[in-house]
Amino acid sequence: MFHSESFTVTTRGRGTIEITAEVARIVQAAGAPRGLCNVFVHHTSASLILCENADPSVRSDLERYFARLVADGDPVFRHTAEGSDDMPAHVRSILTSNSLSIPVVNSRLDLGTWQGVYLWEHRTDPHRRRVTVSLVG
C-alpha cells in the first residue's frame, strides 16, 4: 500500500511551525493501519525536525543556538547575492533534516509523548514551502 499527498506551508520568516496535525490527517485519510510515514520538504533553505512540543522556550532556544552556530553575514560565506541569511539557511537545512520517517500504528503517527513535527523556515523573509507526506503500509 502506498499513498502520498502534498501541501503548502506559508511561513512568516525564520522560525518553526508545527505541522503534526496536517501530517496526521493525511496518514489517517490514507487508511493503512500500520506503516511508515515519510515527510519531505522540497526546498534547501527550510527543513523538518521532530522537537519537544510542550514548552515553546525549547524552540526559541533552538533558534538562538542556531543563529549563533551559523551566523547571518559570516564572512566565511561568499554566496551572498540572495542575502546574508541565504547561505546560513542552506547550512541550517543540511545540519538538520530534509525528511522525517515516522512509524504509523492504528492509522496514527506513533510519536513519543513530547514529539511534534515542525517545519523550520530558515530564511528571514516569508516563503511558501511545499511538503509531501508519503505512506508505505
Q: How far is the CB of 12 from a second copy (least distance, A)?
A: 20
Helices assigned H by DSSP within the chain: 20-30, 56-69, 86-95
CA distance 112 to 110: 7
- Asked if 28 is part of the footprint of a second copy (rule: CB under 8 A), the reply reads no
- Asked if 128 is part of the footprint of a second copy (rule: CB under 8 A), the reply reads no
Q: How far is the CB of 50 from a second copy (least distance, A)?
A: 5
- Asked if 62 is part of the footprint of a second copy (rule: CB under 8 A), the reply reads yes
Query: Which three cell numbers, joined as nine digits, stand for 124?
Result: 528571514
End-to-end CA distance of the chain: 5
CA distance 56 to 107: 28
Q: Which residues bind a second copy (CB under 8 A)?
A: 2, 4, 34-36, 38, 40, 42-45, 49-52, 55, 57-58, 60-62, 64-65, 68, 70, 74, 76-79, 81, 87, 90-91, 94-103, 105, 110-112, 114-115, 130, 132, 134, 136-137
